[in-house]
Amino acid sequence: MFGLTTPVLVILIAIILILVLVTRPSVTATKGGKILAFVVLLVFPVLAGGLGVTEHLSKSKTTNFCLSCHVMEDYGQSLRIADKAFIPAVHYQNNLVPRDNACFTCHTDYTMYGDMSAKLRGLKHVYVQYFGKPAQPIKLYTPYNNRECLHCHLGSRSFEEGATHTADPKTLPMIKANQLSCSSSDCHNMIHNVKGLKEATFWKEVTQ
Amino acid sequence: MNGGKITAVERRLRLSGILVIAGLCVEMASLRWSHPTAFLFFILLGGALLAAGILLYLLTLVAASEA
């Protein structure tokens, strides 16, 4: 169904009022008509634009948005691998990250949420989606930053007091300083691993 | 009313309205679509049409006040 979100409602009201102006432009000869023109040709479009940008930004953080490109389908599937060794899968399946925003929770500086070069890469991705051929397998442009893990794990008991983390007093400071990677130090290195999808078994979500 | 005829100012306001409606329609359609391309449509096409309509409206106001 056609969901009437706030931006859509504002747009519909604006269109109806502008149609009055377009079909009867002579109304602008009156003071009320001038106010109407000001509101519908300036205030409403700016309001609709602002609300629309907010909604688009909100949507762009959703898992569905990230998986809407063909190249990301395998990565979406990897979230359902029934193997506790797979870090993204175990986070997704156990609600350790919100399922609706799973990708963005662990990739907070991706494309439009990153710096200018990340934003430009986002535009390149759209171009490649339609006119090019994505690299196989796709790779992160920069090594995975521990910051993405620490914004949840920092301060948690299992992280701060974990036997492996505390065995060497240098380990925790190095992890926190992003000098020792969580994901590529032979510790938590089972990430999406899409190459092994064919052999994997998948978790079937129970719908309530 | 000028016997059904519209003035130059009214013609510009009408064109401005049509541009804004076109921009709003593009924005509304893009809001129904959850894909990176939708955001580009929203910003580049919808935003350009809205900006053109608003600019034409403001120029019409300036021209009308100078006349």
At residue A194, the pLDDT reads: 87
Can you say whether residue A139 is alpha, beta or left, with left for phi > 0 and alpha for psi between -120 and 50 degrees?
beta
Task: Compute the Cα dihedral for A119, A121, A125, A126 and give only its sign.
Answer: positive
Collect all residues with Cβ–Cβ distance below 8 Å to A95 and sequence separation of at least 6.
none
- Output the average pLDDT for chain A: 90
At residue B2, the pLDDT reads: 52
Predicted complex ipTM: 0.88
How much is the pTM? 0.81
**What CA–CA distance (Å, rounded) separates A174 from A185?**
12
Residues of B in contact with A112 (CB under 8 A): 39
State the nearest Cα–Cα gap between B39 and chain A, in angstroms. 6
**What CA–CA distance (Å, rounded) separates A161 from A112?**
36
Rg for chain B (alpha carbons), in Å?
15
Nearest chain A Cα to B55, which residue? A42
At residue B3, the pLDDT reads: 55
A97-144, pLDDT tens digit by residue? 999 999 999 998 877 777 788 888 888 888 888 888 888 888 888 889
- Burial of A87 per CB tally in 10 Å (0-12, 13-18, 19+): buried
Q: Of the candidates A18, A60, A123, which has its C-beta nearest B20's C-beta?
A: A18
State the nearest Cα–Cα gap between B60 and chain A, in angstroms. 11
Q: Do B36 and A126 touch (CB under 8 A)?
A: yes
Contact A42, A48 (CB under 8 A): no
A161-197, pLDDT tens digit by residue? 999 999 999 999 999 999 999 987 788 988 888 888 8
Contact B22, B49 (CB under 8 A): yes
Residues of A in contact with B3 (CB under 8 A): none
Q: Do B31 and A7 touch (CB under 8 A)?
A: yes
Interface of A with B (CB under 8 A): 2, 5, 7-8, 11-12, 14-15, 18-19, 21-22, 25-26, 28, 37, 40-42, 45-46, 48-49, 52-53, 55-56, 59-60, 62, 64-65, 68-69, 111-112, 122-123, 125-126, 129-130
**What CA–CA distance (Å, rounded) separates B55 from B13?**
11
Contact A75, A192 (CB under 8 A): yes
State the nearest Cα–Cα gap between B50 and chain A, in angstroms. 7
Collect all residues with Cβ–Cβ distance below 8 Å to A159 and sequence separation of at least 6.
A153, A165
A46-65, pLDDT tens digit by residue? 999 999 999 998 888 899 99
B30-45, pLDDT tens digit by residue? 999 888 899 999 999 9
**What CA–CA distance (Å, rounded) separates A61 from A59?**
5
At residue A1, the pLDDT reads: 45
